[in-house]
Amino acid sequence: MARIAHLSDVHFGKIAHPGIVDAILGDVNGEAFDLVVVSGDLTQRARRHEFTQARAMLDRFQAPVLVVPGNHDVRAWWHDPFDRVFRSARRFQTYIEPNLTPTFTAPGLAVFGLNSAHGLTIKGGKIRPRHLDAMRDYFAVQPPDVFRVLVLHHHLTRIDALGGHDIARGAREALVAAEEARVDLILCGHLHRSHVAHVELAPKVAGEPGHRLVVASAGTATSSRGRAENKATNFYNWITADEEAFRVDERRFDPDAGGFATERTTAFDRT
Ligand SMILES: [Fe+2]
Ligand SMILES: [Fe+2]
């Protein structure tokens, strides 16, 4: 069995409640997870002190951590046009994770992090072909029945229930590559709305079954930037997988109780 805690959009600089960072650390560290995933937007404005706070939080998780940047973690062009073009994720790489395509492999579990961040001017994100090549190479050598997880900040598909929303440039190519890599689950964020749904991809050959991908879009774990039905609300996910099935538990913060509790559980077959 594999277990992942999935946080997104932590947004240091816009923390919602004084105790919420400690509350989520306690909630995660009270369970046995193989991995903690953070799918981007650790900061509000990519400031040094925000990254320092994010780094301190990551260091307090007991499980290994896999992190990808969000659009808020990449510096705005007006700070330094040269940096913006050539090393826009430099601060993220300095404080959080030098590798923009991190991986985590354990028995029964293969996780690949894809960088989709391209700064606030392309807030919908962008997937680079060389990062997709790295993803293909990684999943190609994993055992066939391993639980395959792709982590990125932005969405690759339109989720009808969420109305009009950003989709990364290059999403179609990324989705095709994820399908070919037999990805089971995409972990993303960015919309600040907690939503779990499956996406049916059309079969390549008429009459054959299409590939099904599950998309778990996390709410904002700790910030005051929740949107729509998640306004002023904080969520993150627990993922539990075995060879036959997996489930996603959406954990919601209760400000009165000062802790997180499961709001919804959605289960999926892997067959
Ligand atoms: Fe965000
Ligand atoms: Fe974002």
Range with top average pLDDT, 154-158, 160-164, 191-195: 191-195
pLDDT at position 132: 96
Q: Which ligand is nearest to the CA of 166?
A: 2
Predicted confidence (pLDDT) per residue in 40-51, tens digit = 999 999 999 999
More confident residue, 212 or 111: 111
- Ligand 1 centre distance from Cα of residue 71 (Å): 8
Query: With 60 as the cut, is the pLDDT of residue 185 above it?
Result: yes
Distance (angstroms) between ligand 1 centre and the Cα of 97 equals: 18
What is the CA(144)–ligand 1 centre distance, in A? 34
Separation between Cα atoms, residue 188 and residue 51, nearest integer Å: 20
Sorted by where each starts, the structural domains of the chain and their CATH numbers stand as 2-269 (3.60.21.10)
pTM: 0.95
Residue 154 has pLDDT above 90, yes or no: yes
Predicted pLDDT of residue 242: 95
Contact present, 35 and 64 (Cβ < 8 Å): yes
pLDDT band at 5 (very low <50, low <70, confident <90, very high): very high
d(CA 24, CA 82): 37
Q: Looking at the chain, how many residues does it have?
A: 271
Choose among 157, 85, 166: nearest CA to 124: 166
Q: How far is the CA of 225 from the centre of ligand 2 (A)?
A: 11
Per-residue pLDDT reduced to its tens digit, 88-98: 789 999 999 99
Cα 107 to averaged position of ligand 1 atoms, centre (Å): 32
Convert the pLDDT of each residue in 84-139 to its tens digit. Answer: 555 678 999 999 999 999 999 999 999 999 999 986 666 789 999 999 999 999 99
Q: How far is the CA of 220 from the centre of ligand 1 (A)?
A: 7
Residue 189 — very low, low, confident or very high, per pLDDT cuts 50/70/90? very high
Query: Which tokens belong to 65?
Result: 């951590």
Task: For residue 20, give the nearest of 222, 156, 172 by alpha carbon.
Answer: 222
Percent of the chain with pLDDT over 90: 81
Q: Closest-lying ligand to the alpha carbon of 11?
A: 1
- Burial classification of residue 202, based on how many CB atoms lie within 10 Å of its CB (0-12 exposed, 13-18 middle, 19 or more buried): exposed
How remote is the CA of residue 83 from the centroid of ligand 1, in Å? 22
How high is the pLDDT of residue 88? 76
Does residue 211 surpass a pLDDT of 90?
no
pLDDT at residue 81 tops 60: no
At 205 the pLDDT is 80
pLDDT of residue 187: 98
Poorest-pLDDT segment among 20-29, 132-141, 171-180, 202-211: 202-211
Whole-angstrom Cα distance, residue 142 to residue 140? 6
Strands 259-269 and 245-254: antiparallel
Q: How many helices (H) and strands (E) does the chain have?
A: 6, 12
Q: What is the pLDDT of residue 82?
A: 55
Q: What is the pLDDT of residue 188?
A: 98
- For residue 66, the model assigns a pLDDT of 98
Query: How many angstroms separate the alpha carbon of residue 9 from the centre of ligand 1?
Result: 4
Using CA atoms, how far apart are residues 159 and 124, in angstroms rounded to an integer? 14
**What is the distance between the alpha carbons of residues 244 and 29, in angstroms, rounded to a whole number?**
26
